[in-house]
Amino acid sequence: MQLEQFNQLPDEEAADVLRPCLDIERWVSAIIDARPFASRQELTAFAAEAASPFTDAELERALSHHPRIGERASGQSTEASLSRSEQAGLDSSQEIADALVEGNRVYEAKFDRVFLIRAAGRSSEEILAALNARLGHTPEEERAIVDHQLREIATLRLEGVVSA
Ligand code: 2AL
């Protein structure tokens, strides 16, 4: 839809557009309340900073919608189909696919949450390298990265929904 249309949607309909981008109610309402936006660039810049920082509960809720890297989202929801297209570039050898499975396992054991990365535009090799590098982080470093990655994914999704 056009930005003009998004600016004028009733709040509940705007929320339905925003939630599949990022299921954090504080982020959704901040954007709804900040309308109208003068440009799509203003909208995405606002979305990139809104409701910062996310709480642990908010991160957990948002992450629950993201399947592991290498796992195809099942179902017909908007989120599932967005996730499938984001991960569509992952066409790895069995060796890399296995390494991603193992990396996800180690990451979850260390940080107690799913490994999250903006997958769109990244190859399996790049994602595996990022996963291995991030395994060396402290919990605080990882938390900041996850917050940022959720926002990147949300912004890209938003750009897919609202055109200039
Ligand atoms: C995902 C996903 O579903 N889309 C994306 O960009 N990243 N999942 C993940 N675990 O990073």
Q: What's residue 63's pLDDT?
A: 96
How far, in Å, from the CA of 56 to the mean position of ligand 1? Answer: 18
Average pLDDT for 17-38: 98
Q: Report the predicted TM-score, pTM, of the whole model to 2 decimal places.
A: 0.94
Q: Tell me: the pLDDT tens digits for 70-108?
A: 998 889 998 999 999 999 988 778 999 999 999 999 999
CATH assignment of 3-161? 1.10.3330.10
Q: Tell me: the pLDDT tens digits for 102-157?
A: 999 999 999 999 999 999 999 999 999 999 999 999 999 999 999 999 999 999 99
Nearest-atom number in ligand 1 for the CA of 104 is 10
Average pLDDT for 24-51: 97
Residues 6+ apart with CB under 8 A from 129: none
Per-residue confidence band for 56, with pLDDT thresholds at 50, 70 and 90: very high
- With 0-12 / 13-18 / 19 or more C-beta atoms within 10 angstroms meaning exposed / middle / buried, residue 145 is middle
Integer-rounded Cα radius of gyration of the chain:
16
Q: What's residue 16's pLDDT?
A: 97
Q: Pseudo-torsion of CA 69, 74, 77, 82, nearest 10°?
A: 30
SS3 74: coil
119 lines ligand 1 (CB under 6 A): yes
Torsion over CA: 60, 66, 71, 74 (sign): positive
Q: What's residue 92's pLDDT?
A: 76
Residue ranges of domains in the chain: 3-161
Q: Which of the two residues, 110 and 163, has the higher pLDDT score?
A: 110
Residue to mutate (ligand 1; options 59, 71, 87, 101; most atoms within 8 A of CB): 87
